[in-house]
Structure 1
Amino acid sequence: MRAYFSLITLAPLALSACGDPAPTYVDQAWVRLSPNKDTPSSGYFVAHGGDADTALRGVLTDYALKVEMHESMSEGGKMTMKPLDSVPIPAKSKVAFAPGGKHLMLWGVNDTAISRGKMTLTFLLANGDRLLVDAIIQKPGAVTPAAKPEEHKAH
């Protein structure tokens, strides 16, 4: 009877050690303002896949008129750009939106965000999650922020 009682009392502890699955998260978000208010600014970040595959379906913000996902690529010796409807985020991987590759285009970044030096972006994932992330705003000509390896190591 004593062994049975020990097993019952220890079972919840063993199960709690399994923990929740690791979530998908986004960090290192920043926006490079366009020198011309009539042209779009660019946004960058790193998406970290959790324990399950998902996809980025879009990005929203109250601090710009419009946000689109795009990818720059070389075709026939020329740089071109195409819009992206969705970007896969495989489990336990990193997907970088960086200059010269995948990026956000933000039209009409408002003055409130510019004066604050940051803007909140909402990342919409295929699994239904919505991730709120503050993006640092870099004025035209500012130095590109250095990547911060393992910024969210606790995740």
Structure 2
Amino acid sequence: MRAPIPTLSLLAPLLLVACGDPAPTYVDQAWVRVSPNKDSPSAGYFTAHAGETAVTLRGVLTDRALRVEMHESVNEGGVMKMKPIDSVDIPAKGKVVFAPGGKHIMLWGVNPDAVAQGKMPLTFLFSNGDRIIVDAVVQKPGAAAAAGGGPANEHEGH
């Protein structure tokens, strides 16, 4: 009867993992590139991760900007254009990256205090009811790209 005890002790951690909480929906790597022109929108980037089930990102809010919209850069006949998007599906255990040259958020009228503080809270609204608040790093105008490069001002001429 000694053999089952060592076997059970090896299996116990696996059984505990199986009983743990399901993987959560979360957002990380959030940052905002402030436009050097106060009349042009700034751009925000992040990575949204789904948990055990698929989820839809329905919007992003902040009280540190006058308006926030989700957009996507698309190539139409060799011309890059930006189009608003209402929502983004994230597959179960998957992720969607909002990065320069692709999906991103546009922020109009970024509060100068957020720029001075170097961060701003963003609230992400998901179809499962989650409202996730993440502090995005605010990159001042003219600073080198924080996470992934891209054009100096994604919304020039937008």
Smaller-chain TM-score bracket: 0.7 to 0.9
Q: How much has 1:118 moved relative to structure 2?
A: 0.3
Amino acid at match of 2:80: M
Q: TM-score, normalised by structure 1?
A: 0.82
Task: Supply the distance in 2 between the matched residues of 1:93 and 1:15 (Cα, whole angstroms).
Answer: 24
Unaligned runs of 5+ in 1: 1-13, 148-155
* Misfit runs of 4+, over 6 Å: none
Partner of 2:50 in structure 1?
A: 49
The aligned residue for residue 67 of structure 2 is 66
Deviates more, 1:14-23 or 1:117-126: 14-23
Q: Is residue 25 of structure 1 aligned with residue 22 of structure 2?
A: no
Q: Describe the superposition over 1:32-87 as per-residue Cα deviations: whole angstroms up to 9, x where unpaired.
A: 00010001000000011111100100000010000000000111010111101000
- 1:29 maps to a residue whose letter is A
Calculate percent identity across the aligned residue pairs: 71
Quote the offset at 1:16 in angstroms.
8.2
What is the aligned partner in structure 1 of residue 115 from structure 2?
Answer: 114
Q: How big is the alpha-carbon RMSD for the aligned residues of Structure 1 and Structure 2?
A: 1.4
Q: 2: CA distance between counterparts of 1:16 and 1:35? A: 49
* Secondary structure at the counterpart of residue 64 of structure 2: coil
* Contiguous gaps of at least 5 residues in structure 2: 1-14, 149-158
| 1:15 Cα deviation from its structure 2 partner | 7.3
1-structure distance, mates of 2:59, 2:26 = 14
Partner of 1:81: 82
Partners of 1:138 and 1:35 in 2: CA distance? 11
Equivalenced residue count is 134
- The normalised TM-score by structure 2 is 0.81
Provide, for residues 93-125 of structure 1, a one-character-per-residue CA deviation record: whole Å limited to 9, x for no partner.
110000000000000000111110000000000
Q: Which amino acid aligns with 1:31?
A: V
